[in-house]
């Protein structure tokens, strides 16, 4: 039952209302304050302050300052006028409830609009960033293409220059060769002319001696044959080259492989095999019926019915080790964890069950309802009422005629609103 804060003070002008609210030794944060245009609420368990304002205010520009054990509100009026009181007086409960719910609905709509605006702004920023990135990439590509074109033109000019230089060198060599040939012909003519003009002296020895004429460079002779034989290389000696190939696990060649990734994969495979072998060695000592997940599930159900929740958890644990694809094992173990106050483990098992209960079909509706209710219960026991209410509402969507779930969801809503009354 909340404790209502009554000792507040307020004053006003034509344009604003100034409200001081003592905190009584508790610490407040902006999350404890909820304000709309005509509804103000401060919920700091166990204290509660609620006011349906006399006239609408500008909740966007209004402020709240927390300090020295006081919350000081500055509420700007939408219309310039003096109020007869801070809150609406002599209003029946139905009207106050309507104003309260209307204020909460407006706050939700405003939050939804702000979220949509943020989403649109984020998309615009993302689009702008993408366009800017595309422009930068296009500019970078153009710069690279220009550099390539400049380099290509430079290489083309250098190649043309080299070709022209080679042509000039060949032309000079040809001219020089023609000049040398011309000089050789002139020298030969001079020698021939001198030989004709020189008087011939007879010599008996020379006439008797037979000189063997020398053959030209194109003819074969003994000297040229010997020279050719000396210049020929010796035949190569025969030999055998042995090639060894590295043995590999993967079919690709070593030069085409990724050694680091392959070694990591082999290491992970070996670790997995060792883990599986260890689990199998541990399960060898079990009896034949203890290796059956269904038998273990039934055993866990019996233990749960007798109140031995820890033994039931052990049975479900062994069943999960044997078959981790049965959602009912996680559902039943979540129920045991709720009894043992292992709330985080109950949330994990319920979430795992919901993950396995896909796709949602009529056959698994009952199991999905249980999973949502058990996870929502764990959230509420951890005082995470907003998350718990979401799970209860998800269960109601599946089973809208379930009065128990509907009643529990309504209680959670009252707790969140701070208006839960003793039944």
Would residue 256 count as lying in a domain?
no
Q: Which CATH number covers residue 58?
A: 2.60.40.790
Best CA proximity match to 390, nearest among 375, 368, 400: 375
297 and 351 in a single domain? The answer is yes
The burial class, CB within 10 Å (0-12 / 13-18 / 19+), for 417 is middle
Would residue 208 count as lying in a domain?
no
| Residue where a domain terminates, one of 62, 88, 114 | 88
Would residue 164 count as lying in a domain?
yes
Would residue 243 count as lying in a domain?
no
83 and 161 in a single domain? The answer is no
Using one digit for the tens of pLDDT, what is the confidence trace for 230-256? 566 667 777 788 777 666 666 666 656
58 and 96 in a single domain? The answer is no
Query: Cα–Cα distance between 32 and 71 in angstroms, integer?
Result: 11
Q: What is the domain extent for residue 44?
A: 3-88
Contact 105, 37 (CB under 8 A): no
76 and 103 in a single domain? The answer is no
Would residue 131 count as lying in a domain?
yes
Would residue 225 count as lying in a domain?
no
Would residue 248 count as lying in a domain?
no
**Residue 229 pLDDT > 80, yes or no?**
no
400 and 335 in a single domain? The answer is yes
118 and 156 in a single domain? The answer is yes
The pair of structure tokens assigned to 387 is: 């998350």
Q: Which CATH number covers residue 384?
A: 1.25.40.10
Using one digit for the tens of pLDDT, what is the confidence trace for 166-207? 989 988 988 988 888 888 888 888 887 777 766 555 554 444
What three-state secondary structure class fits 37?
coil
82 and 102 in a single domain? The answer is no
The angle that helices 309-322 and 293-306 make with each other, rounded to 10 degrees, is 170
What region, left, alpha or beta, does residue 72 occupy, with left being phi > 0 and alpha being psi -120 to 50 degrees? beta
The CA–CA distances, whole Å, from 297 to 18, 89, 301, 305 equal 64, 61, 6, 12
Using one digit for the tens of pLDDT, what is the confidence trace for 94-143? 777 777 778 778 778 888 888 889 889 898 898 889 889 898 999 999 99
Place of tokens 């998309």: 123
141: Cα within 13 Å, side-chain hemisphere: 6
Would residue 361 count as lying in a domain?
yes
Going by DSSP bridges, is the β-strand pair 3-4/47-52 parallel, antiparallel, or unpaired?
Answer: parallel
407 and 303 in a single domain? The answer is yes
102 and 177 in a single domain? The answer is yes
Please count the structural domains in the chain.
Answer: 3
At 211, the pLDDT band (50, 70, 90 cuts) reads very low
| Residue where a domain terminates, one of 40, 64, 88 | 88
Kindly report whether the peptide bond that precedes residue 359 is cis, defined as omega within 30 degrees of 0. Answer: yes
413 and 294 in a single domain? The answer is yes
Arithmetic mean of pLDDT over the chain? 81
| Residue where a domain terminates, one of 38, 71, 88 | 88
């Amino acid at each position: 039952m909340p404790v209502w804060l009554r000792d507040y003070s307020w004053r006003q002008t034509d344009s604003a209302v100034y409200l001081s609210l003592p905190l009584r030794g508790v610490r407040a944060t902006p999350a404890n304050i909820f304000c709309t245009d005509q509804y103000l609420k401060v919920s700091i368990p166990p204290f509660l302050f609620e006011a349906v304002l006399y006239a609408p205010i500008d909740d966007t520009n209004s402020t709240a300052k927390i300090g020295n054990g006081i919350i000081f509100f500055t509420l700007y009026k939408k219309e310039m006028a003096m109020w007869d009181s801070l809150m609406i007086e002599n209003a029946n409960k139905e009207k106050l409830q309507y104003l309260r719910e209307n204020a909460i609905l407006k706050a939700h709509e405003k939050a939804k609009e702000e979220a949509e605006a943020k989403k649109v702004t984020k998309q615009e920023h993302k689009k702008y960033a993408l366009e800017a990135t595309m422009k930068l990439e296009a500019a970078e590509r153009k710069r690279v293409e220009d550099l390539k074109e400049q380099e290509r033109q430079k290489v083309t000019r250098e190649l043309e220059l080299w070709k022209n230089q080679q042509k000039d060198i060949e032309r000079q060599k040809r001219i020089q060769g023609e000049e040398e040939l011309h000089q050789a012909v002139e020298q030969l003519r001079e020698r021939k002319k001198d030989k004709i003009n020189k008087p011939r002296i007879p010599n008996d020895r020379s006439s008797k001696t037979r000189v063997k004429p020398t053959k030209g460079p194109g003819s074969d002779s003994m000297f040229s044959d010997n020279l050719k034989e000396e210049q020929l290389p010796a035949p190569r000696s025969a030999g055998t080259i042995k090639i060894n190939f590295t043995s590999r696990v993967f079919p690709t060649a070593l030069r085409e492989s990724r050694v680091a990734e392959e070694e990591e994969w082999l290491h992970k495979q070996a670790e997995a095999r060792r883990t599986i072998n260890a689990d199998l060695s541990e399960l060898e000592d079990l009896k034949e019926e203890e290796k059956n997940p269904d038998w273990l599930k039934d055993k866990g159900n019996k233990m749960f019915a007798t109140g031995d929740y820890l033994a039931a958890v052990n049975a479900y644990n062994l069943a999960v080790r044997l078959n981790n694809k049965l959602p009912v094992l996680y559902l039943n173990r979540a129920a045991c964890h709720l009894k043992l106050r292992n709330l985080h483990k109950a949330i994990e098992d319920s979430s795992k069950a919901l993950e396995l209960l896909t796709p949602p079909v009529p056959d698994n509706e009952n199991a999905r309802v249980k999973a949502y209710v058990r996870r929502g219960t764990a959230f509420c026991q951890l005082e995470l009422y907003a998350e718990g209410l979401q799970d209860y509402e998800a269960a109601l969507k599946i089973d809208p005629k379930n009065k128990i779930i509907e009643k529990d969801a309504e209680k959670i809503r009252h707790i969140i609103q701070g208006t839960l009354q003793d039944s």
